Amino acid sequence: MIGFVVVSHSEPLAVAAVDLAMQMIHGDAPPVRVAAGADGGFGTDAVAIAAAIDELAEIDGVLILTDLGSAVLSSELALELRESTQPVRISGGPFVEGATAGIVRAATGGTLDEVAAEAAGALAAKQPHGEEPRGEEPPRGEAPAPDASGAGAGAPAPEASPTGDVVERDVTVVNPVGLHSRPASVIVKAASGWGTVPTVTDLTNGKGPAPANSMIALLALGATKDHVLRLRAEGPDAAAAVDALAALIEDGFGET
């Protein structure tokens, strides 16, 4: 599992950001260390950051999340001071959104590359509908082009192919607020553990496909109540994965 060191000039800010992220975890949470404040006040301390990294010496990798530019400088110095040798990266993503997105992805077994990418692209979910993300990563998916039958443009799709290798199902969002943070994090957890990564496309607004194991990609769909979502998966676990996601959406994530 990937761990985190949260570096902030303010300890209350860091603790609040971690607490928000943990509200989205459904199951075992990744290890998180807070290295915030300096000398009992505002600032950052490279020695404290290095110590926090060393506390996570036995895990697969560490992602450092920072709030302001000087926190990055302190984190870079901490990499020279640390004694542990596990892979460590400093995220350039947004502090609060990156912490939530990264921690949720790590909780489902994401690699350091996957977790770092999720944190870096976390601003995508905050863009007004119809605008390109202004974060570090390009959009994660585009609307499928309509084919002769109209698929990709809102036409119904078969639930499964004759071979059973590809499964598609269209479901309607029924919970009042739509695919907000908590339902998205529930989907991420449900999408993990299969031999396939399902995708979700919003047929109503044409956004997607989004990988179901990415909270930020799911939020970027902007799916609200009564939107029709197309679930798609390939491989031997496709039917089970689609069934699991469809059940959550049709149940309204327990919010109806």
Catalytic residue ranges: 180
Count CB neighbours of 113 within 10 A.
12
Residues 30 and 99 sit within 8 Å (Cβ to Cβ): no
- The answer for residues whose C-beta is within 8 angstroms of residue 209's C-beta and 6 or more apart is 141, 144, 199, 200, 201, 230, 232
Start-to-end CA distance of the chain, whole Å, equals 34
- The answer for residues whose C-beta is within 8 angstroms of residue 62's C-beta and 6 or more apart is 2, 3, 4, 5, 53, 56, 86, 87, 88, 89
Query: In this structure, what token pair is assigned to residue 110?
Result: 């994401």
Nearest-angstrom CA–CA distance, 124 and 121? 6
